[in-house]
Amino acid sequence: MTIEAHNLVWGVGRKTIVRDVSVSVQKGETLGLIGPNGSGKSSLLRLLAGLRQPRSGDVRINGQDVARVSRRALARQVAFVQQNAATDTNVSVHDVVKLGRTPHRSALAGWSAADEAAVSNALAQVDMQSRSGQAWQTLSGGERQRVHIARALAQSPIVMFLDEPTNHLDIHHQIEILRMVRDLPLTSIVALHDLNLAAMFCDRIVVMQDGALVACGSPGDVLTEALLHSVFRVAASVSAADASERPHIRFRSE
Amino acid sequence: MSVHHSVSTHHHGGSGAGWLALFLVLSLLLLGLVVAIATAIGDYAIGLDTVFLAVTNGLGLTGADISPIEQSVVWDLRLSRALVAALSGAGLAICGAILQALLRNPLAEPFVLGVSAGASTGAVCVIVLGIGGGGLSLSMGAFTGAFSAFALVAILSNGATSGPNHTILAGVAAAQLFNALTSYIVTTSGNAQQARDVMFWLLGSFGGVRWPDFHLLIIVVVLGLGVCLYMARALDAFTFGDEDAAALGVPVARIRLVLFALTAMITATIVSMVGAIGFVGLVVPHAARYVVGPMHLRLLPASAAIGAVFMVLADIASRVIVSQQTVPIGVVTALVGVPFFALILYRSRPQT
Ligand SMILES: Nc1ncnc2c1ncn2[C@@H]1O[C@H](COP(=O)(O)OP(=O)(O)OP(=O)(O)O)[C@@H](O)[C@H]1O
Ligand SMILES: [Mg+2]
């Protein structure tokens, strides 16, 4: 198992936000994380990435407890793409992607050929190599998001957490980015709102509601009409021919 | 936020290390020149050639025959003063650059953590209340006050770990408290002359500095710059916020506390020596960003260089604007700096 979390509990003040969540993800697997707004997806991803300390429970990545590894050692293995990241500083696209190399460089080390290769590869993977010199402030919302994904790729991680990586992207790039995440030899957990994309690109899907996991399994097993009705309060018809095929969801308006 | 954004909208020059090296070499040459001018100019004008010989004499390199008065004015008074000015400018500019990055606020400057307010309280305790009974120098009093203010800010903001805006608010609260204490002491116990002394001290003056000040300051500033350069990569990682820096492997809480303490140390040392000189720490980092871009391994040395040159120029101006009189240096930095800054703002306005 690459990622293993046991009985995670986290909250703020008296409010419990993540309730007793356990998940495990195999090497190379792409796990989809779905759930309504405020159900705790981002909070869970932060716990898994070691950015928050759980009240109880633990997270192991490649067998190591993330609470005991140094931040730097962890960042060499784990990359995190935030739901929304913003800055007032005027940095170029290249500068932003370069930040991804931070955990791999010592304090004063020069810029190596390997670093540059990682950066230009990452930019190429998100189709932004021609924008390397552009100012980050002048990018469109979707372009910013792709640059952030490139930065995570430049970190050369073995585990990647993506918090709604496609919410500003056009349909072509939504599909391209998710296809890339699926095809890379990375273990990844992706929070998504588009259920059809989740069904198309995730090996397994977990569903969160009110901070707890309510379902976990293959897209065909999880995305049922009953679950969509109880968790998302929508009426939908799911067309899944058989278990080997990916389900397709059509929402009904009544 | 607009200042930060617009000032650095387009980077000038290339982005290679060569450009930075060229810029630093040119700045050092310029710094040498302005220090020489600062040493030559004054009520008692001395030629540049004599200045040069007096300096080499002072360093023990030559034994040229110049009048002892000129030797003493150049070496004992003016050179130490010019070098302290350069180091103060460099130190304040570095602190400004660091605080702008850590607090993610373009209006952050070295005094945002209440250090200058604390220094003034410490200073009035010595000047007006006579605490220490003459055994405690003005500088020591100011330094103690400055660090007490920083300690208060650190406590109010959980060791400066509770986020940028919280830290800024803690700084504002500390500054208000210490300013109120200063006013209280001055109005209840001071006489008019003491109030004037305090006011003049606060606006900054290089009048009293001598070689021992230089020796202390060069250690503090050079060490500080060294530590900051060592942490420059980590500072870059704060571009998208604390959590993002943590995701990039930066030990956020530790870096914040170390750098806040370091800036407080540098600022307190400078303030206790030459008073609270405003504007340099706010504006110089923006100017430097305009020249070398926002990444800190380049920004910090460039800020130091620009700050040093700027402060020596301001010191020269403070002595020549009004004959036979020295204008407070804090007044000059603002008077000279604002037009420069306006030019940069204008040239870098966002293209819409
Ligand atoms: N620091 C905090 N203090 C108080 N409440 C918080 C905090 N962080 C998160 N919450 C609450 O916890 C709940 C879960 O938040 P989270 O961001 O994990 O949701 P999410 O599933 O990612 O939602 P979305 O789909 O809108 O991104 C929300 O109700 C949020 O208001
Ligand atoms: Mg979220």
ipTM: 0.90
pLDDT tens-place string over residues B43-55: 777 888 888 888 8
Report the Cα–Cα distance between both ends of chain A, in Å, rounded.
Answer: 43
Residue B218's pLDDT band (cuts 50, 70, 90): very high
How far apart CA A11 and CA A19 sit, in angstroms, is 9
The pLDDT of residue B345 is 76
The pLDDT of residue B61 is 81
CATH number reported for the structural domain that contains residue B321 in this entry: 1.10.3470.10
- Give the mean pLDDT of B260-279: 89
Residue A13 to residues A9, A16, A17, B251, Cα–Cα distance (Å): 13, 8, 10, 24
- Give the mean pLDDT of A36-53: 94
- Give the mean pLDDT of A119-130: 93
Q: Is residue B107, in this structure, part of any structural domain at all?
A: yes
Chain B residues with CB under 8 Å of a chain A CB are 1, 4-5, 8-11, 104, 106, 229-234, 236-237, 239-241, 243-244, 246-252, 289, 293-295, 297
Residue B9's pLDDT band (cuts 50, 70, 90): very low
Q: What is the dihedral of CA B190, B196, B202, B205, to 10 degrees?
A: -140
pLDDT at A193 over 70: yes
Q: Is residue B311, in this structure, part of any structural domain at all?
A: yes
How far apart CA B163 and CA A1 sit, in angstroms, is 35
CB neighbours of A231 closer than 8 A, spacing ≥ 6?
Answer: A35, A36, A207, A209, A214, A215
- Give the mean pLDDT of A108-129: 90
How far apart CA B171 and CA B154 sit, in angstroms, is 9
Name the pairing type of β-strands A248-251 and A236-239: antiparallel
Residue B62's pLDDT band (cuts 50, 70, 90): confident
The pLDDT of residue B339 is 83
Residue span of the structural domain in which B307 resides:
3-7+33-347
Q: Output the average pLDDT for chain A.
A: 91
Q: Is residue B28, in this structure, part of any structural domain at all?
A: no
How far apart CA B331 and CA A89 sit, in angstroms, is 29
| Three-class DSSP category at B177 | helix
pTM of the full predicted structure? 0.88
Rg, chain B, Cα only? 21
Please name the residue whose Cα sits nearest to atom 12 of ligand 1.
Answer: A17
Residue B75's pLDDT band (cuts 50, 70, 90): confident
The pLDDT of residue B15 is 52
Residue B4's pLDDT band (cuts 50, 70, 90): very low
pLDDT tens-place string over residues B94-148: 999 999 999 988 888 888 888 888 988 888 888 888 776 666 687 888 889 988 9
Q: Is residue B82, in this structure, part of any structural domain at all?
A: yes
Residues B268 and B146 sit within 8 Å (Cβ to Cβ): yes
Residue A80's pLDDT band (cuts 50, 70, 90): very high
Q: Does A69 touch chain B (CB under 8 A)?
A: no
pLDDT at A239 over 90: no
Which residues form the pocket of ligand 1, taking CB atoms under 6 Å from any ligand atom?
A 12, 17, 35, 37-43, 83
- Give the mean pLDDT of B178-184: 91
Q: Report the domain count for chain B.
A: 1
Give residue limits of the domains in chain A.
Answer: 1-77+157-222, 89-156
Q: Is residue B189, in this structure, part of any structural domain at all?
A: yes
State the CATH class of domain A1-77+157-222. Answer: alpha beta
pLDDT at B309 over 90: yes
The ligand placed nearest to the CA atom of residue A41 is 1
Among B103, B344, B90, B313, smallest CA distance to B222 is for: B90
pLDDT at B89 over 90: yes
How far apart CA B239 and CA B251 sit, in angstroms, is 15
The pLDDT of residue B76 is 83
How far apart CA B184 and CA B125 sit, in angstroms, is 11
